[in-house]
Amino acid sequence: MPHLTFQVAQDYLQAISEELDVISKASGRSVSILKSEVDEISRAQTLPEMLERARIDYRAPLDLAATGFDDDSFDLVYSYAVKAHLPDVTLRDGASEAKRVLKSGGIVAHSIGLQDPYNKLNGGHLIDFLQYSESVWGFLNHNSVQHNNRVRASQHLSIYTDLGATVLKTHVNVDQASRERLRVLKIDRRFDGLSDEDLATVSLAMVAQF
């Protein structure tokens, strides 16, 4: 079942319309042209019509490891707030699939949250989920609504470099309170060898090129 609703799409379009200056600077396209395109899309009366006007081929659900797209067919693969919710094997298989469908020199760009999804229940500590063994975390994290992985920033980057990608840019948010928390928190052995900075990183933005 598609997860996108007409209302959500309208909300996204409204958010885009409020950032046309930023989009113009990044894309090199004039604000007036961007505004005319947004206005054209906003006249849609249904979700299918909106997607057609925006020239979006929306497919959901879709197997990230076997998308069915042709080889060398995309310039860019990106995600926002998605990778934290994928099983480890799907992260690797999805990256391999991205490499397959990207043209030579193609770009991947991802914004990834790395904090404990249940931090509101443990006093706001952002990395406490790193203390649990795989079996305990699997039990706590077993639900049909949303999977949560514990992959750290360096491990996300390694998935792509191991496939031959070159990391062009990263931005990490190292939480200082979490660094202090490491003094008293016993981290599971799964994370042996990772630096305190890596363990205390609570978000990652990355751009890499194949």
Q: How many structural domains are present in the chain?
A: 2
Q: Record the tokens describing residue 24, joined without a space.
A: 């113009």
User: Residue 44 and residue 23: Cα distance in Å, rounded?
Assistant: 22
Claim to verify: residue 53 and residue 73 sit in the same structural domain: no
Claim to verify: residue 4 and residue 102 sit in the same structural domain: no
Claim to verify: residue 107 and residue 52 sit in the same structural domain: no
Question: Which residues share a beta bridge with 107?
Answer: 76, 209
Claim to verify: residue 107 and residue 172 sit in the same structural domain: yes
Claim to verify: residue 120 and residue 201 sit in the same structural domain: yes
Q: Which residue is it, tokens 């060398």? A: 72
Claim to verify: residue 83 and residue 31 sit in the same structural domain: no
| Residue 43: per-residue pLDDT | 98
User: Model pTM?
Assistant: 0.89
What sign does the dihedral 16-19-25-31 (CA atoms) show? positive
| Beta carbons within 8 Å of 113's beta carbon, 6+ residues apart | 81, 84, 202, 203
Residue range(s) defining the domain that contains residue 126:
68-209
Claim to verify: residue 47 and residue 76 sit in the same structural domain: no
CA distances from 128 to 107, 125, 181 (A): 33, 6, 9
Reduced to 3 states (helix: H, G, I; strand: E, B; else coil), residue 109 is strand
Claim to verify: residue 42 and residue 142 sit in the same structural domain: no
Q: Do 185 and 131 form a contact (C-beta atoms < 8 A)?
A: yes
pLDDT per residue, tens digit, the chain (210 aa), is 568 999 999 999 999 999 999 999 999 999 999 999 999 999 999 999 999 999 999 998 899 999 999 999 999 999 999 999 999 999 999 999 999 999 999 999 999 999 999 998 878 899 999 999 999 999 988 877 789 999 999 999 999 999 999 999 999 999 999 999 999 999 999 999 999 999 999 999 999 999
| Residue 2: per-residue pLDDT | 67
Claim to verify: residue 100 and residue 56 sit in the same structural domain: no
Claim to verify: residue 108 and residue 169 sit in the same structural domain: yes
- Of 144, 146, 168, the C-alpha closest to 157 is 168
Claim to verify: residue 21 and residue 83 sit in the same structural domain: no
**Amino acid at residue number 141:** N
Give the domain-ending residue among 61, 87, 109: 61
Give the domain-ending residue among 37, 61, 85: 61
Claim to verify: residue 54 and residue 138 sit in the same structural domain: no
User: Residue 151 and residue 129: Cα distance in Å, rounded?
Assistant: 11
Domain harbouring 132, CATH code:
3.40.50.150
- Of 135, 130, 149, the C-alpha closest to 199 is 130
Give the domain-ending residue among 61, 89, 113: 61
